[in-house]
Amino acid sequence: MRTIKGPAIFLAQFAGEAPPFNTLDSISAWAAGLGYKGVQIPSWVSSFIDLEKAATSKTYADELRGTVNRHGLEISELSTHLQGQLVAVHPAYSSAFDGFAPVAVHGNSSARTAWAIQQLKWAAKASSNLGLNAHATFSGAFAWPFIYPWPQRPDGLIDDAFGELGRRWLPILDEFDRNGVDVCYELHPGEDLHDGATFEMFLDQVKNHVRANILYDPSHFVLQQLKYLDFIDIYHQRIKAFHVKDAEFNPTGRQGVYGGFQSWVNRAGRFRSIGDGQVDFRSIFSKLTAYDYAGWAVLEWECALKHPEDGAREGARLISDYIIRVTERAFDDFANSGIDREANLKMLGLRSDEGMS
């Protein structure tokens, strides 16, 4: 077993135009001051990183890492959540998702897809240049509008959707493999990969690719009413990244999982700052530690009620408390009798000349 790394913080929800949130240097100083040990960098925030340059210039990547290291921090992962979303977009969402891409490709789905795929390939090389072994992203979605089978889904519709999703991602996964980096899909509503069943369907399409892995975020499973602790038992070998985010689900006589088109504050299921929701983080950290999870515990702040800076401050302390410093010896070593093998055989009523080796 090894001790989970952290606490780290995902910078996407904090990036802004005002100090200290407007440059990688100043936001790193802010994060370090709260007690964080790592930062997960959103690759679409140009004031933090030039993704193409990080992919094509080892010198620039070293400078980027040095900016973070000066504050006693490490880069936990890069994120391409927005670009990953654009690898696969159903036409119903095309206009809404255009805002994730440069103006030059707005209204041109094929050009937008090509742009997104290039971004992912740069992220693979940039991650390698930065010495990282995991990457956070979304899968995108063709089938999401058909999540509920009414009207009845035509035969083969979902198979075709996942077939095309796999076709688009397979060369990206190969590029990450060439760079020694795992792709960690955040299983998330709005993505075709949103639970264990859909992740397995995707694995079938990408031939169980070794680089197709999971960013575990229990908050999304609470809102789906999925057993998030059992999920770790099933998929722990594929969990290579971890967002620490809380949530609560309080159904009423008026609404449940689907939320009745209400605002986040008024939904039965809503995200909360860690410690304010229903997620059993102590059990999660225990399971991940027992399964030898080698990555970071990264705060993702999303809360319908609390101020982000309060959530960030509290999150650093809570994650530090949840992280289990693994023991180097068994708790009952004090009672070790030191008996040798001959004594063991004697205790069992056996003789060493009875054919045992």
Confidence of residue 329 (pLDDT cuts 50, 70, 90): confident
Q: Does residue 295 form part of some domain?
A: yes
DSSP state of 155: T
Q: Does residue 44 form part of some domain?
A: yes
> How many domains in the chain?
1
Pairing of strands 296-299, 212-216: unpaired
Segment 43-81, tens digit of pLDDT: 999 999 999 999 999 999 999 999 999 999 999 999 999
Q: Does residue 356 form part of some domain?
A: no
pLDDT over 90 (residue 337): no
Mean pLDDT of the 94-123 span = 98
pLDDT score recorded for residue 315: 98
- Residue 247 vs residues 269, 274, 275: alpha-carbon distances, Å: 7, 8, 9
Where does residue 152 rank: exposed (0-12), middle (13-18), buried (19+ CB within 10 A)? exposed
- The structure tokens 């609470």 sit at 222
pLDDT over 90 (residue 95): yes
Mean pLDDT of the 299-315 span = 97
Tell me the C-alpha distance between 175 and 102, whole Å.
Answer: 23
Quick one: residue 147, left, alpha or beta (phi over 0 = left, psi -120 to 50 = alpha)? alpha
Q: Strand, helix or coil at 75?
A: strand
Rg (CA), the chain: 23
CA dihedral 281, 286, 289, 295 (to 10 degrees): 0
Q: Does residue 148 form part of some domain?
A: yes
CATH number for position 16: 3.20.20.150
Please report the sign of the dihedral spanned by the C-alpha atoms of residue 266, residue 270, residue 275, residue 280.
positive
Residue 236 has which token pair?
Answer: 């722990």
Pairing of strands 74-80, 134-137: parallel
Mean pLDDT of the chain: 96
Mean pLDDT of the 211-229 span = 98
Pairing of strands 246-249, 239-244: unpaired
Q: Does residue 351 form part of some domain?
A: no
Q: 342 vs 152, which has greater pLDDT?
A: 152
Please give the residue range of the domain that contains residue 229. Answer: 5-331
Where does residue 102 rank: exposed (0-12), middle (13-18), buried (19+ CB within 10 A)? exposed
pLDDT over 90 (residue 330): no
Tell me the C-alpha distance between 182 and 160, whole Å.
Answer: 25
pLDDT over 90 percentage in the chain = 91
pLDDT over 80 (residue 29): yes
Residue 157 has which token pair?
Answer: 């519709």
Q: Does residue 243 form part of some domain?
A: yes
301 contacts 13 by C-beta, under 8 angstroms:
yes
Q: Does residue 71 form part of some domain?
A: yes
Question: Which of 37, 38, 46 lies closest to 15 in space, CA to CA?
Answer: 46
Please report the sign of the dihedral spanned by the C-alpha atoms of residue 317, residue 318, residue 319, residue 321.
positive
Q: Does residue 345 form part of some domain?
A: no
pLDDT over 80 (residue 297): yes
